[in-house]
Amino acid sequence: MNVLGIDIGGTGIKGAPVNTLDGTLLAERHRIPTPDPATPEAVAGIVASMVDHFDWDGHVGCTVPARVQHGLVRTAANIHKNWIDTQVDGLFSRATGCRVTVLNDADAAGLASMRFGAGRGLDGLVFFITVGTGIGSAMFYNQELVPNTELGHLRLKGGAAEDYASNRVRNEKNLSWKKWAKRFQRYLDRIEFLFAPDTIILGGGISRPQKVARYWHHLSTEANLIPAELENEAGIIGAAAAAAR
């Protein structure tokens, strides 16, 4: 089944049609800058432009960086506060005229990883952790997603973990990779203490091979720790895969 996957991020909204059987993109990825302010209505307008760009009239899968329960947005840590209580699947369907499925961005990227990336064939308890502006999480048991885990908001050093160990904090505080890795190690320790996953997959911008080379040797876990493979496209592919289910 072919689905248009759209990944809504803090700086860019990216989309491409996806073959959900093998996770391949069927056309070149299209990127539109995220509007400012990124209200639900403004973002819905961009989602509609994306649908127009691909001349799409089929099913659409879309991510948002928030907890999404049955198409209703419940949190807004790194996005405009107006998102809270938005019935986002209905909003995007009206804006595009298409059937739209919406899910959390980390859940989508995790799904892509489990189906088509580093998590392929992995059983047991697998955590997919994506590190960017925030920290997102997706939890899988024997390949089945337990949605909306929000482990970027675990308490760490008196605040949310993502305000201590995200890539945003690394940039803002100009931390060396070693210093950032020390913070992130604390986060991994907490995850392991609470959940004892068999595997942890690290995704987001920090999973690019050039970045991995800078900090991987500073991390150590009981779990099998592996970088994600799909990088930038994971959200698009996972959104499409979720919509096809």
Where along the sequence are the contacts to ligand BGC (CB under 6 A)? 65-67, 75, 77-78, 104-106, 130, 134, 136, 150, 152, 162
Q: 195 near 127, Cβ under 8 Å?
A: yes
Cβ 15 to ligand BGC shortest distance, Å = 17
- Least separation in angstroms between CB 88 and ligand BGC: 13
Q: Taking the CB of residue 112, how many other CB atoms lie within 10 A of it?
A: 30
> Smallest distance from the beta carbon of 55 to ligand BGC, in angstroms?
29
Neighbouring-strand partners of residue 73: 68
Of the pair 70, 121, the CB lying nearest ligand BGC is at 70
Buried b (16+ CB within 10 A) or exposed e, 186-206: ebbebbeeeeebebbbbbbeb
Nearer to ligand BGC, 15 or 134 (CB): 134
E strands, 20-80, are 24-25, 30-33, 60-64, 68-69, 72-73
Q: What is the DSSP letter of 127?
A: E
Question: Cα(126)–Cα(167) distance, rounded to whole angstroms?
Answer: 22
Query: Smallest distance, Å, CB 128 to ligand BGC?
Result: 10
For 25, list phi and psi in degrees, rounded to 5: -80, 140
- Report the distance separating Cα 40 and Cα 74, nearest Å: 13
17 or 145: whose CB is closer to ligand BGC?
145
**Shortest Cβ 2–ligand BGC spacing (Å):** 26
Residue with Cβ nearer ligand BGC (17 or 152):
152
